[in-house]
Chains A and B, each alone.
Chain A
Amino acid sequence: MANLWSEFTKLLAPLPQVVGDVVTKQDDVYYIQLAGGGTMKCVGEKNYQEGDRVVVQQGRILFKSVSLPYSELEV
């Protein structure tokens, strides 16, 4: 039988962190182009510029990231 506590915590777990680039900004509202595809709107307390790579969670920018080496893997 599966671990019930583990299954329960999965239900309450916060949304995962995602990485994307700032496309546009309006005051403290930023539009993020996610690396995995899709666009989302989030808020950020600091002044991020267009093109900045940021880490987002729960609709809020956590911190500024960097562009990492990109590769494709087939499994």
Chain B
Amino acid sequence: MIVNLEFQTLRQTTPTTETDLVFGQDVVTPEIPDSDGGIHAVLPTMSAHGVLNYSANVLRKFCADLPSSFNSTRHSGHLYNSNYFNSLPLKETETVPWGVGIELQTGLNLPHKQLLPTKGTPSILWGAGLRTDGTDYLTQYVQLIPTKVLTLSLWQSTGGIPSGELVTQYVQLLPTRYAIFMPFGGTSALSHSFYAKLKPSIKLKSGWFLPWQRAKHPNSGHAVVPIVPPPHEGYVPSPDINFICKNVKMSAQAVLLHFGVDCHTPPVVIPARKVYFIVNEVHLTRVSDNQEIQILSASVSTDKSSWCWSFDASVPYSQLSLVDPQDAPVEVELTINGTAFRALVESYETVETFGKRTVSIKGRSITALLDTPYAHERAYLEPTQIYTRQFCENELLRTDVVQGYSLDWSLVDDLGWLVPENTISYQQSSPVKAMKKIVEDGGGYLNSHPSQAKFLVKPLYPFAPWEWGGIAVDKQLPIDVVTSYKHRWASKPTYNSVIVTGELVGVQCLVKRAGTAGDISAPMFSSPLITSTGVARVKGISILAAGGKQAIETLEMPLLNDVGVIYPNELIEVTRDGSGAWRGLVSSTSLNVSRDRDGGIKVVQANELERFYG
């Protein structure tokens, strides 16, 4: 028998356990009363064909029902021996009419104790629980703590969005502050300076030297013995060439080629005489209008540790208006026997003694305008590779100082020495202080021209003292011209070597006195400006020359016209009776002008000389 089963409607559950199965034709069946019977049939294997129609356009909601009201757990291991551990309270509200009870006091036999009323409506299912005893409970699960995922973000976290104020789901993030590294700092405008390798040419002075003037008749009343000129023998070349003299820096237009025995200009030699006639002439004028200023006394002085000349003078009180420096320093010129000294009067004081009022004025060289208080101090770092002479000339061209100053450089080389970039640096320095530091680190000293707007840069010791015996001196003086002579012994430790070194760049040199073992070393000298062997040599000489057995010789003498002013760094030879000569290097110079009771002018030149023994 084949039975076709057609399932056209969905299955519906019936409240009863009975199912009506109708097989065959639809017949009118009589009403069958309810009964508890059933049908027992043995049916062959059934095959069914079904068609399920449904619409795919119907949106079906995805839903997920949590099958559990507990948090996820993990295996607790064997650390806990408890049936249940502390579980999270279900977030369901339940009204608890009573709060936490208070422990009964010992000794009271009360079955109940008054409970505190619950504050508000707590929404917790369980109150505070007591810690379980590990021996009473066994649980296999412990509470998990949500894992905090580490995130790496380029943006910092921001605060929450203020509720009710913003209508966007995003808030503006603040960018992360990165540390910015800049290899270069702030820069300043370059000073406009130009360096010319070739100087302007100087016209050669062509002239003729005639040993004999044109003859003329003798004046009336005079009888002159005629002098017969010697016959001119002509030029006789000599093959005696002397190369033992050291190289001396000089202008290219003034190079003298000597092929004889002596290759130096002969020194100024003052003969010893019984009487020296001196006529002093001193003038003090104001430079602005060339106004003559009366003078009672005056003095100018300088030394190798000073960068300028000091000026002092005493004038009558009536001359105060001419030199009053209240508005600005007054430039004056003091002329002593034809040698001019220019100075800026910067201060004065009045002195009244027994009804006589005088004014004492003081000042410095005109180069003082490049120092405080006239020039500003600044901090500076030289960013380029530069020669030290060029650096000093740039200091003279600073825009905040008076212009018109020049430099006479004779230290190490015509250009100084080369210094790498970012090496020269100074703090709170005027142009004078900046140059002084550079020059002193290079073994030299800074000084000023006595009358011109010019700085002088010279080595402390043009020649080492142990070489003075073979070098031509600048002036030779007999002890007869010295009116006062003072000898002061000033011995210092003797060294024969010294380490001169740079710091981050440059060279490290052992400067050793020739002919010695170099085993007695002077304290090391370290400076960032020691960048070449040339400057290391000059600095080493200045250190070694300052030590040893030596004396300070002070000479006072009138200002002879043949001698003139003896400036610092001149090598002087003093002779006594034609023998017993000694040599010294001038370290300081001062000229003192005074008046005698009869009004005569007296000029005394005082010099200190460094004299070395061995």
Given contacts A1-B608, A75-B464, contact A65 B513 (CB under 8 A): no
Given contacts A2-B587, A16-B524, A55-B526, contact A75 B541 (CB under 8 A): yes
Contact yes or no, B506 A68, CB < 8 A: yes
Contact yes or no, B588 A1, CB < 8 A: yes
Interface string of B484-526 (1 = CB under 8 A from A): 0000000000000011011111111111111000000111111
Q: Which residues of the partner chain B approach A34 to less than 8 Å between Cβ atoms?
A: 524
Given contacts A35-B499, A35-B508, contact A1 B303 (CB under 8 A): yes
Q: Which residue of A lies closest to B525 (CB)?
A: A16
- CB within 8 Å of B: which A26-75 residues: 34-37, 55, 65-66, 68-75
Q: Given A16, A17, A18, A72, which contacts B509 in the complex, CB threshold below 8 Å?
A: A72
Contact yes or no, B508 A69, CB < 8 A: yes
Q: Which residue of B lies closest to A74 (CB)?
A: B514
Contact yes or no, B303 A65, CB < 8 A: no
Contact yes or no, B512 A75, CB < 8 A: yes
Min distance, Cβ B443 to any Cβ of chain A, angstroms:
11
Most chain B beta carbons < 10 A, residue from A7, A18, A71, A73: A73
Q: Given A2, A36, A68, which contacts B502 in the complex, CB threshold below 8 Å?
A: A68
Q: Given B306, B507, B523, which contacts A68 in the complex, CB threshold below 8 Å?
A: B507
Min distance, Cβ B361 to any Cβ of chain A, angstroms:
20
B533 within 8 A of A: yes
Q: Which residues of the partner chain A approach B524 to less than 8 Å between Cβ atoms?
A: 16, 18-19, 34-36
Interface string of B217-248 (1 = CB under 8 A from A): 00000000000000000000000000000000
Q: Which residues of the partner chain B approach A35 to less than 8 Å between Cβ atoms?
A: 499, 501, 508, 524
Q: Which residue of A lies closest to B554 (CB)?
A: A1
Min distance, Cβ B123 to any Cβ of chain A, angstroms:
60
Q: Which residues of the partner chain A approach B587 to less than 8 Å between Cβ atoms?
A: 2
B305 within 8 A of A: yes
A-B interface contact total, Cβ < 8 Å: 90
Q: Which residue of A lies closest to B530 (CB)?
A: A68
B571 within 8 A of A: no
Q: Which residue of B lies closest to A71 (CB)?
A: B509
Task: Give the CA-CA distance A6 to B588 in the complex, in Å.
Answer: 13
Chain B, interface size: which category? 35 or more
Q: Which residues of the partner chain A approach B507 to less than 8 Å between Cβ atoms?
A: 68-71
Min distance, Cβ B388 to any Cβ of chain A, angstroms:
19
Q: Which residue of B lies closest to A6 (CB)?
A: B305
Contact yes or no, B533 A36, CB < 8 A: no
B583 within 8 A of A: no
Q: Which residue of B lies closest to A20 (CB)?
A: B524
Contact yes or no, B511 A36, CB < 8 A: no
B536 within 8 A of A: yes
B611 within 8 A of A: no
Min distance, Cβ A46 to any Cβ of chain B, angstroms:
16
Most chain A beta carbons < 10 A, residue from B501, B504, B512, B525: B501
Min distance, Cβ B440 to any Cβ of chain A, angstroms:
11
Given contacts A2-B588, A65-B503, contact A75 B511 (CB under 8 A): yes
Min distance, Cβ B452 to any Cβ of chain A, angstroms:
22
Contact yes or no, A74 B523, CB < 8 A: no
Task: Give the CA-CA distance A69 to B536 in the complex, in Å.
Answer: 12
B544 within 8 A of A: yes
B342 within 8 A of A: no
Min distance, Cβ A21 to any Cβ of chain B, angstroms:
12
Task: Give the CA-CA distance A35 to B536 in the complex, in Å.
Answer: 15
B389 within 8 A of A: no
Q: Which residues of the partner chain B approach A7 to less than 8 Å between Cβ atoms?
A: 305
Q: Which residue of B lies closest to A17 (CB)?
A: B526
Contact yes or no, B508 A68, CB < 8 A: yes
Total residues of chain A contacting the partner, CB 8 A: 24
Q: Given B503, B512, B606, which contacts A74 in the complex, CB threshold below 8 Å?
A: B512
Min distance, Cβ A5 to any Cβ of chain B, angstroms:
9
Q: Given B498, B526, B540, which contacts A19 in the complex, CB threshold below 8 Å?
A: B526
Contact yes or no, A73 B510, CB < 8 A: yes
Q: Which residue of B lies closest to A64 (CB)?
A: B504
Contact yes or no, B510 A72, CB < 8 A: yes
Task: Give the CA-CA distance A18 to B524 in the complex, in Å.
Answer: 6
Task: Give the CA-CA distance A75 to B512 in the complex, in Å.
Answer: 6
Q: Which residue of B lies closest to A55 (CB)?
A: B503
Contact yes or no, B513 A75, CB < 8 A: yes
Task: Give the CA-CA distance A2 to B587 in the complex, in Å.
Answer: 8
Task: Give the CA-CA distance A2 to B544 in the complex, in Å.
Answer: 20
Contact yes or no, B508 A1, CB < 8 A: no
Q: Which residues of the partner chain B approach A19 to less than 8 Å between Cβ atoms?
A: 499, 501, 503, 508, 524, 526
Interface string of B522-548 (1 = CB under 8 A from A): 111111000001001100110010000
Q: Which residues of the partner chain B approach A70 to less than 8 Å between Cβ atoms?
A: 507-510
Min distance, Cβ A12 to any Cβ of chain B, angstroms:
15
Min distance, Cβ B214 to any Cβ of chain A, angstroms:
51
Most chain A beta carbons < 10 A, residue from B504, B541, B588: B504
Task: Give the CA-CA distance A55 to B527 in the complex, in Å.
Answer: 10
B430 within 8 A of A: no
Task: Give the CA-CA distance A25 to B260 in the complex, in Å.
Answer: 64
Task: Give the CA-CA distance A69 to B498 in the complex, in Å.
Answer: 16
Q: Which residues of the partner chain A approach B303 to less than 8 Å between Cβ atoms?
A: 1-3
Task: Give the CA-CA distance A73 to B513 in the complex, in Å.
Answer: 8
Task: Give the CA-CA distance A66 to B528 in the complex, in Å.
Answer: 12
Given contacts A1-B588, A73-B536, contact A68 B501 (CB under 8 A): yes
Most chain A beta carbons < 10 A, residue from B498, B503, B514, B590: B503
Contact yes or no, A75 B540, CB < 8 A: yes
- A-B pairs with beta carbons under 8 Å apart, 25 shown: A1-B301, A1-B590, A7-B305, A16-B525, A17-B526, A19-B501, A19-B508, A19-B524, A35-B499, A35-B524, A55-B526, A65-B504, A66-B504, A68-B501, A68-B505, A68-B506, A68-B507, A70-B507, A70-B509, A72-B510, A72-B512, A73-B512, A73-B533, A73-B540, A74-B513
Q: Which B positions have Cβ atoms within 8 angstroms of A?
A: 301, 303, 305-306, 464, 498-499, 501-514, 521-527, 533, 536-537, 540-541, 544, 587-588, 590, 606, 608
7 closest A-B pairs by CB: A6-B305, A36-B499, A36-B524, A3-B305, A68-B508, A74-B514, A17-B526
12 more contacts with CB within 8 A, not counting A19-B499, A72-B512, A74-B513, are A1-B301, A17-B526, A17-B527, A19-B526, A36-B499, A55-B526, A65-B503, A71-B533, A73-B509, A75-B464, A75-B511, A75-B544
